[in-house]
């Protein structure tokens, strides 16, 4: 009898300790997660705090996280000094110009690779994938010369037009999705006398909404964040995109020290739209990253 009670106690304490280990593990996980999070968010928080400080406070020692008063005027000054509204209009023009091209051209090409048969298909698709490995620097310089001859320098054309001619990464993403749509749809439509363009436009595209959103987000971010393209193409000040203006403003040593807080405000404003888009369309974004990473 005594022995039995003892045994019961033992097993109880065994469970007890197992539960304790579990709780301890959860606490540990949270601890690591939170410390990591602080590291990840530090640059955002610190820049945000800098962007709201009066200029002299940005140079205080020891530094403080909370501004003594919130200088929202830094943001207005940033808008004005970097002429950000004009830059935003430029950036949007480039971004949406390229976005439409990316959606149109890549979905057409991907439809060809995913839904139509040709003896050349696999060979050509292999070439498409191979071009992903090409460093862009190889075509950067000759394209610059070509754009110069075409009088395209200092216009948005070099930043928009190439998007209408396919991008291997987006073709891959879209093709992967199209392959998952049952072939029966096409066959039924063909029997009903549908042409391939009709199948592409009225059957496949409406079903491909999620992946089109993914490609749209990638294209948007690519244009919004691009520095190299605008840097070599756009020379006149009033044509700058946001990324280029930010980089140029930062490299101006004189304005750097004088406009510490303004630069901070400007970089927060340039980043914010992307963060908002990311929060709204996370699902589509992550799916694109994962598909390219796991199947690429």
Partner 1 sequence: MRLKSYKGSALTRYENRWFFIFILPWILGFIFFQIGPMIFSLIMSLCNWEIIAAPQFIGLDNYKTFWTDPLIRQSFKVTFLYSLMTIPTGIVLGVLLALLMNQAVKGITMFRTLYYLPAVTSAVSAAILWIFVFDPQYGILNFLLLKFLGIKGPPWFGSETWALPALAIMTLWGIGGSMIIYLAALQSIPTQLYEAAEIDGANSVQQFFRITLPMLTPAIFFNLVMGIIGALQAFTQAFVTTNGGPANATLFYALYLYNNAFRYYQMGYASALAWMLLLVIFIITRVVFKTSNWVYYEVGT
The total number of residues written for the chain in this structure: 296
Asked whether position 180 contacts partner 1 by CB under 8 A, the answer is no
- Residues touching partner 1, count (CB under 8 A): 92
Which CB atom, from 60 or from 85, has the smaller least distance to partner 1? 60
Asked whether position 237 contacts partner 1 by CB under 8 A, the answer is no
Binders in 265-294 for partner 1, by CB under 8 A: 267-268, 270-271, 274-275, 278-279, 282, 285-286, 289-290, 293-294
Q: How far is the CB of 264 from partner 1 (least distance, A)?
A: 6
Cα–Cα distance between 296 and 293 in angstroms, integer?
5
Q: How far is the CB of 285 from partner 1 (least distance, A)?
A: 7
Q: How far is the CB of 110 from partner 1 (least distance, A)?
A: 9
Cα–Cα distance between 103 and 99 in angstroms, integer?
6
Asked whether position 10 contacts partner 1 by CB under 8 A, the answer is no
Whether residue 246 contacts residue 47, with contact meaning beta carbons closer than 8 Å, is answered with no
Asked whether position 71 contacts partner 1 by CB under 8 A, the answer is no
Cα–Cα distance between 226 and 97 in angstroms, integer?
14
Among 10, 12, 29, 179, binds partner 1 (CB under 8 A): 29
Whether residue 254 contacts residue 103, with contact meaning beta carbons closer than 8 Å, is answered with no
Asked whether position 109 contacts partner 1 by CB under 8 A, the answer is yes
Asked whether position 151 contacts partner 1 by CB under 8 A, the answer is no
Asked whether position 133 contacts partner 1 by CB under 8 A, the answer is yes
DSSP character string of 132-178: TTS-THHHHHHHHHHHHHTT-TTSSHHHHGGGGG--HHHHHHHHHHH
Whether residue 245 contacts residue 90, with contact meaning beta carbons closer than 8 Å, is answered with no
């Amino acid at each position: 009898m005594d022995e039995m009670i003892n045994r019961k106690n033992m097993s109880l304490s065994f469970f007890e300790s197992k539960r304790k280990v579990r709780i301890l593990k959860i606490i540990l996980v949270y601890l690591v997660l939170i410390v990591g999070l602080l590291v990840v968010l530090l640059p955002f928080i610190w820049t945000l705090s800098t962007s709201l400080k009066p200029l002299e406070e940005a140079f205080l020692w020891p530094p403080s996280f909370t501004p003594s008063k919130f200088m929202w005027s830094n943001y207005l000054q940033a808008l004005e000094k970097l002429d950000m509204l004009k830059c935003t209009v430029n950036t949007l023009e480039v971004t949406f110009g390229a976005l439409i091209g990316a959606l149109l051209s890549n979905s057409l090409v991907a439809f060809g690779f995913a839904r139509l048969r040709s003896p050349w298909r696999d060979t050509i698709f292999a070439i498409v994938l191979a071009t992903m490995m090409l460093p862009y620097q190889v075509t950067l310089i000759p394209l610059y010369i070509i754009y110069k001859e075409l009088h395209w320098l200092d216009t948005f054309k070099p930043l928009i037009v190439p998007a209408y001619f396919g991008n291997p990464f987006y073709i891959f993403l879209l093709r992967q999705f199209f392959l998952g749509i049952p072939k029966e749809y096409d066959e039924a439509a063909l029997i009903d006398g549908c042409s391939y363009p009709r199948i592409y436009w009225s059957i496949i595209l409406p079903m491909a909404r999620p992946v089109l959103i993914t490609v749209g987000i990638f294209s948007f971010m690519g244009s919004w964040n691009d520095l190299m393209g605008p840097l070599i193409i756009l020379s006149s000040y009033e044509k700058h995109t946001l990324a280029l203006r930010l980089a140029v403003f930062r490299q101006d040593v004189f304005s750097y020290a004088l406009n510490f807080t303004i630069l901070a405000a400007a970089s927060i404003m340039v980043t914010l739209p992307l963060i908002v888009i990311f929060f709204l369309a996370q699902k589509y974004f992550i799916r694109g990253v994962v598909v390219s990473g796991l199947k690429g």
